[in-house]
Amino acid sequence: MYITKMTKKGQITIPAEYRKKINSKYYSIEIKDNQIIIKPVSSLVGSLKKYTKKNENIEKIMEKEKEIFKEAIIEKHNS
pTM of the complete model: 0.48
Q: Using an 8 Å Cβ cutoff, are 39 and 54 in contact? A: no
Q: 20-75: per-residue pLDDT in tens? A: 998 888 888 889 999 999 988 766 555 555 665 666 677 777 788 888 888 888 88
3-class secondary-structure state, position 17: helix
CA 29 to chain centroid, in Å, comes to 8
CB-count exposure of residue 44 (10 Å: 0-12, 13-18, 19+): middle
